[in-house]
Amino acid sequence: MNSTINNQIALFQERNQNRGRLLVSCPDQPGIVSAISKFLFSYNANIIESSQYSTNPEGGTFFIRIEFECPQLKEKAKDMEQQFTQIAEEFSMDWTFTHVYKVKKTAIFVSKELHCLLELLWEWQSGDLMTDIALVISNHEEARDIVEGLNIPFYYIPANKDIREQVEEKQLHLLKEYDIDLIILARYMQILTPAFVEANPKKIINIHHSFLPAFIGARPYEQAFNRGVKLIGATSHYVTNDLDEGPIIEQDINRVDHRDDVDSLKKIGRSIERSVLARAVKWHLEDRIIVHQNKTIVF
C-alpha cells in the first residue's frame, strides 16, 4: 500500500477511534429505541446518526442502525457488548457492534474486464472508499501492472470449472492469510462453489451486468438485445448458492433504444456497473446493510 493511502487510513482511524455502530433487527414492539438509547447514555455515548424501519408496527420486524461517539470506546467496548446481551435477550435481537476505526480488509477478484476494478481503485485512492485493499486475485494477467503499480499484492491463479476446487483452496488460504473481511467480485467471471460461499456468508459482493431478476446467468447483454429492452441495468448483490439470486444491495438503469447493438449496450452497461458496485461496497464498509431473509435493509 502506498504512503498516501496509509496516511488516509491512519487519519481516519485517529478521527474515529471513539466512533461505534450498532445494527439491530428484532420483532417489533414498544420500548426498543428507548432501551438502546438509555443503554448508550449509560456509557456517556452520544448518538450521531440513527435510522430505523419496521416492516409492520404490529407483528413485523424492526431494524435500526445507530452510529455513536463514546469516550474511551476501546476500553469500554468489551464491557458494552457483554452488558448489551441482556437487552438483546429481552427483545430477541440479532445485533452487531462495529468499531469504525477498525478499517475492513478487502480482497478484489477480477477477470479480464477491468472497469469495475478501476472504479474501486479510484474511489479508494481518493479516500471515498475507506478500506484496506489487501490483495487482488485474478484468473488473468491483465490487471497486474495496474495493481502492483499501487503496491497492492496481485495473485494470478488460473481458473476454470475443471480445477475449481483446487483454485478455491488457494484462494481461501490467501483470504485467511490476509485476514479478509470482504470479498468483492469485480466482474470475476467464475462461479464459486457452495463450499467457498458457505465459508464467507454475507461477505461476498458481486456485480451482475443486468437489472435482476431479468437476464440471470451468462451473456445478459445478448439476452437483453434479443429481447429488445428499452432499459438496461446492473445489480450488486450478496453471493449465495443460488446463481445471481442473492440479496440485492443496489441497482441502477439507463435508457437504450433500437439503435443500440450489443456492443453499445455493453459500453453503456459498464458505466452503470462501476457506480452500482462502488456504492454497494461503500454501504457495506459503512455497516449500512442488514440482510433479512433474501432482502436487504440499506440505511
The CATH number given to whatever domain includes residue 78 is: 3.30.70.260
Q: Are residues 152 and 274 in the same domain?
A: yes
Mean pLDDT of 290-294: 95
CB of 263 closer than 8 Å to CB of 219: no
Residue 11 lies in a domain: no
Residue 223 phi, psi dihedral angles, 5° rounding: -60, -45
pLDDT tens, position by position, 208-253: 988 888 888 888 999 999 999 999 999 999 999 998 899 999 999 9
The pLDDT, as a whole number, for residue 1 is 61
- Rounded Cα distance between 122 and 142, Å, is 17
Looking at the chain, the whole-number percentage of residues with pLDDT higher than 90 is 89
Average pLDDT of the chain to the nearest whole number: 95
In a domain, 7, yes or no: no
In a domain, 233, yes or no: yes
132 within domain boundaries? yes
Q: Is residue 9 part of a domain?
A: no
Query: Which three cell numbers, joined as nine digits, stand for 229?
Result: 429492452
C-alpha separations of 283 from 12, 63, 192, 199, 297 in Å: 17, 16, 23, 22, 11
Domains of the chain: total: 2
Among 99, 126, 149, residue at a domain's last position: 99
Same domain membership, residue 33 and residue 176: no
Are 163 and 270 members of one domain?
yes
Residue 36 clears pLDDT 80, i.e. is over it = yes
159 and 84 inside one domain: no
Q: What are the C-alpha distances in Å from 55 to residues 31, 172, 269?
A: 17, 37, 33
At residue 182, the pLDDT reads 98
How far is it, in rounded angstroms, from Cα 2 to Cα 18? 26
Residues 115 and 171 in one domain: yes
Residues acting as catalytic residues:
244
Which residues are within 8 A (CB) of 72 and not within 5 positions of it... i.e. 6 or more apart?
18
**Alpha-carbon distance 190 to 111, whole Å?**
8
Domain end residue (candidates: 71, 99, 127): 99
Distance (Å, whole) CA 99 – CA 267 = 39
In DSSP terms, 236 is beta-bridged to: 207, 250
Instruction: Out of 37, 70, 99, pick the residue that ends a domain.
Output: 99
Q: In what order do the strands lie in the sheet with 132-138?
A: 154-156, 132-138, 105-110, 182-185, 204-208, 231-238, 248-255
> Are 214 and 289 in the same domain?
yes
Please tell me the predicted confidence (pLDDT) of residue 3: 76
The pTM (predicted TM-score) of the whole model is 0.94
Find the range with the poorest average confidence among 4-18, 73-87, 214-228, 261-275. 214-228
Residues 224 and 145 in one domain: yes
> Residues 21, 123: one domain?
no
Residues 94 and 122 in one domain: no
pLDDT at 4 over 90: no
Mean pLDDT of 92-96: 98
Does 82 score more than 90 pLDDT? yes
Asked whether residue 145 carries a pLDDT value surpassing 90, the answer given is: yes
The count of residues in the chain is 299
Does 174 fall in a domain? yes
Q: Are residues 83 and 118 in the same domain?
A: no
Same domain membership, residue 287 and residue 189: yes
Q: Residue 217 sits in which domain range?
A: 105-298
pLDDT in tens, 39-63: 999 999 999 999 999 999 888 999 9
